[in-house]
Structure 1
Amino acid sequence: MEPNTTKSAYAFLPWVLTFALLGALTVFSYYRESDNPFEMEFKKADLLSTMRIHLLEAIEAEKNAVMATTDEASESFAVRSRQAADKVESNRKEIESIIDQQKLPREIEILNNFNICWAQFRKLDETILALATQNTNLKAQKISATQGAQEMERFEQSLNRLIHRNAGNNRCNTTVMLSYEALTAGLKIFSVHQSHIEEADDQEMDKIELSIKSYDISARKALGSLSNITGLKDSEDLKNAETAYEQFMNLTDEVLRLSRMNTNIKSAELSLGGNELISSQCQEILADLQETIQARQFKATR
């Protein structure tokens, strides 16, 4: 090469280096402002993995809220379930933004399917959690087993004292017969509390309540007949029996009211039935989207 030509080439070298540097800076600036395609693929994969983990956490916490035996435990698990679901929603919005930018038809289609499934899951999940935290069946059971049992015991003890104190007079047989008639009716009412609490069918609960009304009529009739017996009208034992029975029936009304709401049974049925199916569908859709993204990553790295 001629010396003059060499000098001329060296003269342009600074300009070439300048343009090369500017080009590199432009490319670098582009990838800083809009995420690198490879990084976006890995980010989507990471978001999907996180979504699937939080979805499983939401499902597990929901089931624990349904199965919990105290209000405190139900509330605690319900909070955890909602928090996990909120994390899924946050990740969903983030990955939706990336997929909308990339405009990849298959990923858009799968994400749209997930959005539909996810909306159904959240709606049903909130219904289940709201029911589970009311715990009406458990509350009915607790009232029956504690306060109800106590009043029935007071009722029985008062009638037994009434019988023993009248054992030596001519009205003994009538007193015994009516007392046991009232006690038997009361115990039958108490015995069907649990059946009503465990029953999920409204018609079957109607039948139980009809039997309770029939037993109540028998008990009140027997107590009324006892009060008409000469010498028993002002009996302290009879008054105590009547008071205990009245309080027992007030508690029975509350047991039936709570049992009718059936929130524990309904939440369990929804959780183990409809929501289990929907949650499985959501998980399958996320797995499908994850496989699609991974397939694109594999092609891009070949």
Structure 2
Amino acid sequence: MKLLSQHQAHKAMDGDGVNIRRVADFNKLGFDPFLMIDEIKSDDKSDFIGGFPPHPHRGIETFTYILKGGFEHRDQLGNVKAIRAGDVQWMSTGSGVIHSEMPLADTDAGLHGFQIWLNMPAKDKMRPARYQDSGELVLPEAVASGVYFKALAGRWQFANQVLVSPLAQLAGRARIADVTLLENAKLTLNLGESSGESQFLGVYIYSGSLKQHLGFDSQYESYQAGQLLVLDSHELLQLDAEEQGAGLLLLSGQAINESVVHMGPFVMNTQAEIRQAVEDYQMGRFGQISD
């Protein structure tokens, strides 16, 4: 693999006192079309029990994936859904969504999950909101040579198989996969990005570690949980786990290449659009969640 940059997740707090680790880029757009990765991982209820009470969004897509525990999602569109371990949820907020995400009552053994923000192109930012979750749908998986591959969003090729997630409409043609590498396992993927288009390819490590051989002697570079590696999508993707194995998210997408103005839950293209989003929310134009 060819490493372009690496980024460390930092401790942050959001919602009603929820402790998270966050990697974000709303300025340099080095992750385009992705904006942010939030990871919640704790066995201590006090770290997440407050959840995320009702709040608005405009101009982004949120992609939620749960490994352990779960949340109940509610929004003004009438969607009420428990998102549990193994589930994914996609919300294209468009012109406006108000939603809440509260820990499930039976989340006693801890919580581990992710919320990923994607930018939306200007032409779509004011379209009606869309919602989809995995629900009863099957997220395709495959296993080969100590590597477990799960297609969360988009179309992937792994171990001579084509894996297509039912969630396939993400902005920027984004794809997301969950990959587990056992002890010293290796993953090799040819993503076929030969079109010359600007593509993003990222690896977020959430458990264990990866290593990269430096090409001389037996020396190698080690990458740990909580790091996002930005890689060259035109190079063959080769990932080597260390002795403890590794769990990671693969992120791929087409850069949108548009200006971004960010304020809290709103991501638009101009300051005037941000001011309008704030006014629309304050005037109640986003609607409200029904009991």
TM-score category (smaller protein): under 0.3
Q: Given the two structures, how large is their TM-score scaled by the length of structure 2?
A: 0.22
When Rg is computed on C-alpha atoms for both structures, the one with the higher figure is 1
Larger helix proportion of the pair: 1
Q: From the two aligned structures, give the one with the greater strand fraction.
A: 2
Q: Answer 1 or 2: higher relative contact order, Cα 8 Å, separation at least 6.
A: 1
